[in-house]
Amino acid sequence: MISPDQLLRSTPSGLYCPPGDFYIDPVRRAVDRAVITHGHADHARAGHGAVLATPDTLAIMAARYGENFCRTQQALAFGETLSLNGVKIGMVPAGHILGSAQIILEWKGLRIVNTGDYKRRQDPTCAAFEVVAKPHVFITEATFGLPVFRHPDDRGEISRLLASVRALPNRPHLIGVYSLGKAQRVVRLLRDAGWDRPIYIHGALEKLCELYVDRGVALGPLEKVKHDPASKAGGTDFAGEIILGPPSAFSARWGQKFKDPVLGFASGWMGIRQRTRQRGVELPLILSDHADWNELTTTITEVDAEEVWITYGREDALVRWSQLNGRKAKPLRLVGYSDEDDEG
């Protein structure tokens, strides 16, 4: 059997496939050929020569960076494969955000699966994670790769938000969400919990919410908050309403114009009290688009690869857990990958 690093190896520019002559998620510099797992800026950047990704990820990159974000682009749908210089490339859902994919590489009998970022929770805004069993190498993220990270039920967190709205009807609820993935997921969780009133959004969320709707994700009525949020369309204040926006907007002039708001933040990092205090969050909502510790270890067990490579986060604890459970494992120590604006 050939060595796995003959098919895929870590370089300063990211994971590189020598026989195929392409990179996976190179973000430190533009490259001639890139295979992209998903549209977050810490994995997808403009300026590459050729980009291969799912149709949804290509649409997201075009919305964020403009139609000419690369010289040429090629879409690969889930379940399809193609061959590049003798390397077979396939994509299956990662469950992280719309269009997110695990990359499957096959060459000379060797099979490697790279998850990119992923989660295992049910999420109607994207295709669910698909287990690809028994590859030779499984490359997993480790954003929340410490035993302390065990995320609560999503529906319970949304119930806490709605309970706060009911208990404090005279105050608007400003919830910090990241524009790609988290915003749309929070909207759907609210809809599924029975909130059918308009949800107000910062203008920074509008384009990507429209893209999700265009790609078939129902979000219900959304209304953009005008530049001056002192009043909404009906001429009254935002008491009792839910407003979503990027966290940075709430400390800026835009967010400071709301009257006595309840400040919330939807992120996996809200389980850390120090981060909650640093951001002045009154209503922390632990909602993550990444796998927690239990989901990471369950996934490694279910995939049952001969070797596990761990990256994008807290690598050492997951490497140690894998070794204690009889699996060959190593950290990749890739540089330049972190959550988009510390998103979790």
Cβ atoms of residues 222 and 187 within 8 Å: yes
Phi and psi angles of residue 317, each rounded to the nearest 5 degrees, phi first = -65, -40
Cβ atoms of residues 91 and 78 within 8 Å: yes
Indicate the pLDDT class of residue 333, thresholds 50, 70 and 90: confident
Is the pLDDT assigned to residue 63 strictly greater than 90?
yes
Q: What distance in Å separates the CA atoms of residue 276 and residue 259, rounded to the nearest whole number?
A: 21
The two structure tokens encoding residue 264: 């919330």
How far are the Cα atoms of 31, 39, 41, 111, 129 from residue 204, in angstroms, in the given order? 29, 16, 15, 40, 28
Buried b (16+ CB within 10 A) or exposed e, 251-276: eeebbeebeebbbbbbbbbbbbeebb
Q: What distance in Å separates the CA atoms of residue 335 and residue 315, rounded to the nearest whole number?
A: 12
* Confidence at residue 338, expressed as pLDDT on a 0 to 100 scale: 58
Shared fold status for 4-148+290-342 and 154-285:
no
Please state the rounded mean pLDDT for residues 121-133.
97
The two structure tokens encoding residue 223: 């209304």
SS3 state of residue 263: strand
Cβ atoms of residues 304 and 139 within 8 Å: no
Q: Which residues touch 48 (CB under 8 Å, ≥6 apart)?
A: 26, 30, 31, 32, 33, 34, 70, 71
Q: What distance in Å separates the CA atoms of residue 64 and residue 181, rounded to the nearest whole number?
A: 13
The edge-to-edge listing of strands for the beta sheet with 110-114 is 81-84, 87-93, 101-107, 110-114, 137-142, 307-313, 328-331
Indicate the pLDDT class of residue 188, thresholds 50, 70 and 90: very high
User: Considering the chain, what percentage of its residues have pLDDT values greater than 70?
Assistant: 94
Q: What distance in Å separates the CA atoms of residue 291 and residue 273, rounded to the nearest whole number?
A: 20
pLDDT tens readout for residues 189-243 = 999 999 999 999 999 999 999 999 999 999 999 999 985 545 554 445 899 999 9
SS3 state of residue 304: coil
In the predicted model, what is the mean pLDDT of the chain? Answer: 93
Its CATH architecture, for the domain 154-285, is 3-Layer(aba) Sandwich (3.40)
Query: Lowest-confidence range among 42-56, 225-239, 319-333?
Result: 225-239
Cβ atoms of residues 33 and 70 within 8 Å: no
> Where are the chain's structural domains?
4-148+290-342, 154-285
List the CATH code of the domain at 4-148+290-342. Answer: 3.60.15.10
E strands, 42-183, where?
Answer: 50-53, 72-75, 81-84, 87-93, 101-107, 110-114, 137-142, 173-176
Cβ atoms of residues 175 and 158 within 8 Å: no
* Confidence at residue 152, expressed as pLDDT on a 0 to 100 scale: 97
Is the pLDDT assigned to residue 103 strictly greater than 50?
yes
Q: What distance in Å separates the CA atoms of residue 231 and residue 331, rounded to the nearest whole number?
A: 51
Buried b (16+ CB within 10 A) or exposed e, 144-172: bbbeebebeebeebbebbeebbeebeebb
Place of tokens 């060595």: 3
Positive or negative: CA dihedral 13, 18, 20, 21: positive
SS3 state of residue 155: helix
Q: What distance in Å separates the CA atoms of residue 2 and residue 131, rounded to the nearest whole number?
A: 24
